[in-house]
């Protein structure tokens, strides 16, 4: 049987695009199905969705030939973890581990754009944008994927990389177990008087962790876990009031803030797929979580 592609990946976020680029780099025929449009380059203020790429993930991405925008990446060389009450404190140093750095912080959208740029150069990769799966069915030698644009594609393997609310997972009948922590994480991008340098720190409080992810220059991404009620109340604060709340709660090492750039909050929920694989199907990234 002849397939349309050896592998179809549903979801062109940073995980699906990274896999597509690595497979494409190896000359394997890949179809990438993405509900949205091709991503645009990151510019201006930093986006709220920031991820750490550890050294191994970074090597995986670089091996695909994708070129990351150095000016929007922040390498980190120390990880500092402490209890707020002073009962515990550990600092991990890349140098002591024989590494230049532990990895980088990068906006999801910047990573995704760099990967998609690479996909465009790879002849064995075809991107299908602005379409999503309607149904999928496994046959003996292939799995079929019916799309909402009228096309039906076939492949030896279909990979679901379509995020935490994975349609492919649902279509394949794979259930999830989940637990609501009744907490929210507020993400706040800030500008600071101090350069944030190369330390990523996290501080555990009785209400949940607070953390700082350094971004290039005098910028940082703050993460503030708290109860639903406290976070929702904090969301109503003016920038000035939020700035004051951060300066009085976060460790002094953050220094004074000069600007609240952006903020949003997300519910904290544990979710886990009952299976990661099905017949000619696999889930990766957030899809099985």
Closest CA to 263 of 227, 222, 216, 233: 222
> CA 256 to CA 102: how far, in whole Å?
27
Round the CA-based radius of gyration of the chain to a whole number and report it: 21
CB of 34 to ligand FAD, least distance (A): 5
Shortest CB 68 distance to ligand FAD, Å:
15
50 vs 254, beta carbon nearer ligand FAD: 50
Judge whether 139 and 234 are in contact, CB under 8 Å: no
Question: Whole-angstrom distance between the N-terminal and C-terminal Cα of the chain?
Answer: 33
User: Whose Cβ is closer to ligand FAD: residue 12's or residue 192's?
Assistant: 12
CA 55, distance to chain mean position in Å, is 15
Distance, CA of 282 to CA of 262 (rounded, Å)? 35
Alpha-carbon distance values, 187 to 6, 39, 45, 211, 233 (Å): 39, 22, 14, 10, 14
The minimum distance between CB 103 and ligand FAD, in angstroms, equals 10
Residues lying near ligand FAD in the complex (CB under 6 A) = 10-16, 33-36, 48-52, 108, 132-133, 161-163, 167, 187, 266, 285-286
Dist. CA 106–CA 98, nearest whole Å: 23
* Phi-psi domain of 242 (left: phi exceeds 0; alpha: psi -120 through 50; beta: other): alpha
Which tokens in the block code for residue 104? Answer: 């980088």
Angle in degrees, 0-180, between the axes of helices 108-121 and 55-63, rounded to the nearest 10: 30
Q: Which is nearer to ligand FAD, 214 or 240 (CB)?
A: 214
Q: Which is nearer to ligand FAD, 180 or 193 (CB)?
A: 180
Smallest gap from residue 233 Cβ to ligand FAD (A): 19
Instruction: Provide the minimum distance between the beta carbon of 181 and ligand FAD in the complex, in angstroms, as a whole number.
Output: 15
Cβ 218 to ligand FAD, closest distance in Å?
20
Nearer residue to ligand FAD within complex by CB, 135 or 141: 135
Give the residue with the Cβ less far from ligand FAD, 9 or 94: 9
């Amino acid at each position: 049987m002849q397939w349309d592609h050896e592998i179809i990946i549903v979801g062109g976020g940073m995980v699906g695009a990274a896999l597509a680029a690595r497979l494409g780099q190896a000359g394997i025929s890949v179809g990438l199905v993405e509900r949205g449009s091709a991503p645009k380059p990151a510019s201006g203020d930093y986006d709220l969705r920031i991820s750490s790429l550890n050294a191994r993930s970074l090597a995986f991405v670089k091996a695909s030939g994708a070129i990351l925008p150095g000016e929007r990446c922040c390498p980190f060389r120390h990880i500092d973890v402490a209890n707020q009450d002073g009962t515990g404190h550990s600092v991990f140093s890349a140098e002591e581990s024989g590494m230049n750095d532990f990895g980088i912080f990068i906006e999801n959208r910047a990573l995704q754009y760099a990967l998609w740029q690479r996909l465009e150069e790879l002849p064995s990769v075809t991107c299908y944008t602005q379409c999503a799966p309607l149904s999928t069915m496994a046959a003996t030698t292939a799995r079929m994927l019916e799309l909402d644009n009228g096309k039906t594609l076939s492949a030896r393997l279909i990979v679901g990389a379509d995020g935490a609310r994975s349609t492919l997972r649902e279509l394949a009948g794979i259930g999830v177990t989940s637990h609501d922590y009744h907490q929210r994480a507020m993400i706040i991008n800030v500008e600071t008087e101090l350069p944030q340098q190369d330390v990523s720190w996290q501080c555990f409080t009785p209400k949940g962790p607070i953390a700082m992810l350094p971004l290039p220059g005098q910028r940082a991404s703050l993460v503030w876990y708290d109860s639903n009620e406290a976070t929702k109340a904090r969301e109503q604060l003016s920038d000035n009031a939020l700035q004051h709340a951060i300066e009085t709660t976060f460790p002094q090492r953050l220094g004074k803030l000069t600007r609240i750039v952006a903020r949003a909050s997300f519910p904290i929920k544990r979710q886990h797929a009952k299976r990661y694989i099905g017949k000619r199907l696999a889930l990766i990234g957030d899809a099985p979580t």
